C-alpha cells in the first residue's frame, strides 16, 4: 500500500483532532488510524504495489457510473504473508479512506476471524486481495456495481505470484468464490461445504450487514464453521 506524505499528514491531523472527543466510535477510529499510520510507515511497497497504485485502466468506466468515481486502487499485500483474504472490491468508505475493510463489514470479518485490528492490518500476517482493487461505484439505482473483470485479468496472477504460498486462504463473497474456486454453485452450497476445503481454505459469505438475514437463515455458519475458522486463523498466526 503506497500512501504519499501528504496523505499521512492529513490522516495524522484528522486523527489528532479526534483526541479531544470522548465518543467511543472516535476512539475506535483513532486506534484504527494509528495502527494504519504505523503500518504504512513500516511497510515498504513493492514495485508491483506501486504499479497497481498508479493504475487508471477503469477511469472511463467509473466516470460513466452514477457516482462518477475515479480509480483509487487499494492494494494491501506483501510477500510472505500468512493469511490471504481474497475479497470482492472496496466499498465507498474504503475508497474514501484507502484502508481495506475499514467499515462495519471489516468489524464483522475480524470478529469471524477472532483477531483485532492490529493483527488484521499487519501485512506480514494478513494480506487482502480483492477481485478488483478500486471501488466500482453505484448504478443509477444506488446499487453496488460488480468488480470490473479487467482488474482480475490485469493484476491478479502477478499479485498472487508475489504473495506466494500462504497458510490460510479466506475466499469472501460470491465474486471471489467464483474467481478463486472456479465454481458457479450457489454461495450457500459452497459455504456449507467448507469442510471439503478446510483447513487451508474457507469460503465465506460477504460480511456485509446486508447478509444478516442470510446468517439468520444459516445458523450452522456461526455454530459450526466459525469455531473451525478461528482455530485455523490461530494456527496460521502461531
Ligand atoms: S479496478 Fe483495477 S484495473 Fe480498474 S483502475 Fe482500479 S486497479 Fe486498475
Residue 182: per-residue pLDDT: 95
* Long-range pairs for 189-197: beta carbons < 8 A, 24 or more residues apart: 191/218, 191/221, 191/225, 192/218, 192/220, 194/225, 194/228, 195/228
Using CA positions, which residue lies closest to atom 2 of ligand 1? 151
Q: What is the pLDDT along the chain (238 residues), one digit of tens a residue?
A: 444 444 554 555 555 555 555 565 565 666 666 665 555 555 678 899 999 999 999 999 999 999 999 999 999 999 999 999 999 999 999 999 999 999 999 999 999 999 999 999 999 999 999 999 999 999 999 988 999 999 999 999 999 999 999 999 999 999 999 999 999 999 999 999 999 999 999 999 999 988 999 999 999 999 999 999 999 999 999 9
Pocket test for ligand 1, best of 52, 55, 136 (most atoms within 8 A of CB): 55
Nearest CA-CA partner of 36 in 124, 121, 134: 121
Alpha carbon of 150 to ligand 1 centroid (Å): 7
Residue 149: per-residue pLDDT: 96
Using CA positions, which residue lies closest to atom 1 of ligand 1? 134
* Proportion of the chain above pLDDT 70, given as a percent: 82
Within 10 angstroms of residue 163's Cβ, the number of other Cβ atoms is 19
Q: Which residues line ligand 1 (CB under 6 A)?
A: 52, 55-58, 71, 73, 132-134, 148, 150-151, 154
The whole-model pTM stands at: 0.84
Alpha carbon of 130 to ligand 1 centroid (Å): 11
Residue 44: per-residue pLDDT: 73
Closest ligand 1 atom number to CA of residue 72: 6
Using CA positions, which residue lies closest to atom 6 of ligand 1? 134
Alpha carbon of 56 to ligand 1 centroid (Å): 6
Are 129 and 86 contacting, i.e. CB atoms less than 8 angstroms apart? Answer: yes
Residue with cell 495524522: 12
> Considering just the CA atoms, what is the radius of gyration of the chain in Å?
18
Residue 2: per-residue pLDDT: 45
Report all structural domains of the chain as residue ranges with CATH numbers, in order of start: 43-237 (3.40.470.10)
Alpha carbon of 134 to ligand 1 centroid (Å): 6
Using CA positions, which residue lies closest to atom 4 of ligand 1? 58
Closest ligand 1 atom number to CA of residue 59: 5
Alpha carbon of 112 to ligand 1 centroid (Å): 28
Alpha carbon of 165 to ligand 1 centroid (Å): 24
Alpha carbon of 187 to ligand 1 centroid (Å): 25
Are 135 and 61 contacting, i.e. CB atoms less than 8 angstroms apart? Answer: no
Helices (H), the chain: 5-18, 24-42, 47-53, 59-63, 92-97, 104-113, 117-120, 149-151, 157-163, 174-181, 187-192, 212-217, 220, 226-237
Closest ligand 1 atom number to CA of residue 75: 7
Residue 175: per-residue pLDDT: 94
Residue 168 three-state SS: strand
Handedness of CA 169, 170, 174, 176 (dihedral sign): negative
| 82 phi/psi in degrees, rounded to 5 | -95, -35
Amino acid at each position: 500500500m503506497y500512501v504519499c506524505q501528504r496523505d499521512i499528514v492529513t490522516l495524522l491531523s484528522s486523527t489528532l483532532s479526534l483526541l479531544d472527543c470522548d465518543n467511543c466510535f472516535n476512539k475506535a477510529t483513532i486506534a484504527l488510524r494509528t495502527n494504519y499510520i504505523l503500518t504504512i510507515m513500516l511497510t515498504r511497497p513493492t514495485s508491483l504495489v506501486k504499479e497497481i497504485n498508479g493504475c487508471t485502466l477503469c477511469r472511463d468506466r467509473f466516470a460513466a457510473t452514477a457516482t462518477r468515481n475515479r480509480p483509487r486502487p487499494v492494494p494491501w499485500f506483501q510477500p510472505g504473508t500468512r493469511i490471504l483474504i481474497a475479497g470482492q472490491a472496496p466499498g465507498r468508505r474504503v475508497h474514501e479512506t484507502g484502508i481495506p475493510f475499514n467499515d462495519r463489514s471489516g468489524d464483522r470479518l475480524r470478529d469471524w476471524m477472532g483477531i483485532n485490528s492490529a493483527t488484521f492490518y499487519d501485512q506480514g500476517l494478513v494480506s487482502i486481495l480483492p477481485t478488483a482493487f478500486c471501488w466500482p461505484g453505484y448504478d443509477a439505482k444506488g446499487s453496488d456495481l460488480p468488480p470490473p473483470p479487467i482488474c482480475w485479468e490485469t493484476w491478479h496472477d502477478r499479485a498472487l505470484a508475489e504473495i506466494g504460498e500462504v497458510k490460510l486462504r479466506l475466499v469472501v463473497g460470491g465474486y471471489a468464490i467464483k474467481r478463486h474456486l472456479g465454481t458457479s454453485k450457489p454461495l450457500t452450497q459452497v459455504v456449507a461445504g467448507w469442510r471439503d476445503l478446510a483447513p487451508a481454505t474457507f469460503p465465506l459469505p460477504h460480511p456485509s450487514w446486508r447478509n444478516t438475514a442470510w446468517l439468520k437463515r444459516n445458523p450452522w455458519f456461526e455454530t459450526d464453521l466459525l469455531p473451525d475458522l478461528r482455530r485455523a486463523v490461530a494456527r496460521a498466526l502461531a
